[in-house]
Amino acid sequence: MVRRNGNQFVVNRRSFYVNGFNSYWLMLLAVDPSTRQKVSDVFRQAASVGLTVCRTWAFNDGGWRALQKSPSVYDEDVFKALDFVVNEARNYKIRLLLPLTNNWEAYGGKKQYVKWGKDAGLNVTNDDDFFVDPNIKSYFRYHIKTILTRVNTFNNISYKDDPTIFGWELMNEPRCESDSTGSKLQGWIQEMAYYVKLIDPIHLLAIGTEGFYGPSTADRLQVNPNSYAGQVGTDFIKNHRVLGIDFASVHIYPDSWLSDASPEAHIQFVKRWMQAHIEDAENILDMPVVFGEFGVSTKNGRFNQTFRDTFIDTVYKTVLNSTRRGGSASGCLFWQLLSEGTENMDDGYAVVLNKEPSTASIMSVQSRRIQSFNSRCNWNCRWNCKKTSSVDETSHHDDL
């Protein structure tokens, strides 16, 4: 299992830094035997450039190929597809970060839970009732228990006992815009974090936030990409002080957060945004921080692949600068990777590695850098075991 030691991840007492990716769609394509190979393809390509953690959905609430068709009712064929994803990741030595539901309407999320509540006659009127209604919260707790205690039909290992799973996220990008004070979401995080740890005290747990600062740190509101970000009910520092939360989660999307900014302004924002969260993870939270989604869209014509590569390299260098000194930046997960033949799922952010060699090369170099740190016994090691460091050999983008 990956565990937390202060502000770092460790495996068998060795540092474990992450270079990873998002492919949210794996379970959906694994349902159909004719498209299951696409899951294997993306794992194979990711492993070829040294990526070690994949973030993918462990939910699909209602709708097409739903995992949870209604509260407490599951489609066994879809669950077997998720079993396949977990087992296939294991075969490629890739660990999984699994969010348990969505803030957004895609694949159900809180909106679907509230709809189920309405259909059952509950007095709910807003999607944010997901965070406070006792019955709807019981629906979600049932889902947590069902996922965590699932026994994989491919290898007979319970999810909660499987080291292939890097950790859990309570929700993808939670927001509670009906309560800018953040109290509703804070209470929900406390309750659900406690429940997850009651069932699975060993796996890592994160919230899944975008990283927006809130009312508890007024001096940090200026770091947010805009004023609205401080009013969506999240509070980076306060949220991550909840007992049971093991690492901080932050996303990076300047192309959707910043209006009419120049490419250079985007890069400067990325550096400030990341550095603020790294500092706070170290000095206030004393926990690792993972930049769980980062990307830039090339679909709308504002940015091209060359800028995207520069953006990726900026994120990687900022993480590495922290890693070099044993800081809290413990990794990042690119949004998103596709395999060939799935381009219809491209949201503008996707990369097919064997079609974009420059991006694949940047990822591969970063993976080698990260692996050189993971090979250290601990942060007091100065290569007394006569190992030689490859970090300095790949410390600059110029070698590409």
Active-site residue set: 173, 293
3-state SS, residue 29: helix
3-state SS, residue 337: strand
Answer for the pair 371, 50: CB distance below 8 angstroms, yes or no. yes
Distance CA 321, CA 267 (A): 16
Residue type, 61: D
Token pair of 134, please? Answer: 């006792």
**Residue 204 backbone dihedrals phi, psi, to 5 degrees:** -65, 150
**76 Cβ contact list (under 8 Å, min separation 6):** none
Distance CA 160, CA 151 (A): 9
3-state SS, residue 115: helix
* CA dist 303 → 100, 251, 300, 346 (Å): 32, 19, 7, 16
Distance CA 244, CA 159 (A): 18
Q: State the residue for tokens 């942060």.
A: 379
Distance CA 359, CA 33 (A): 30
3-state SS, residue 11: strand
Token pair of 361, please? Answer: 């090369």
Distance CA 63, CA 399 (A): 48
Token pair of 207, please? Answer: 């919230």
Answer for the pair 207, 170: CB distance below 8 angstroms, yes or no. yes
At residue 277's C-alpha, the angle toward residues 251 and 95, to 5°, is 50
CA atoms within a 13 Å half-sphere pointing along the CA-CB vector of 175: 16
Residue type, 276: A
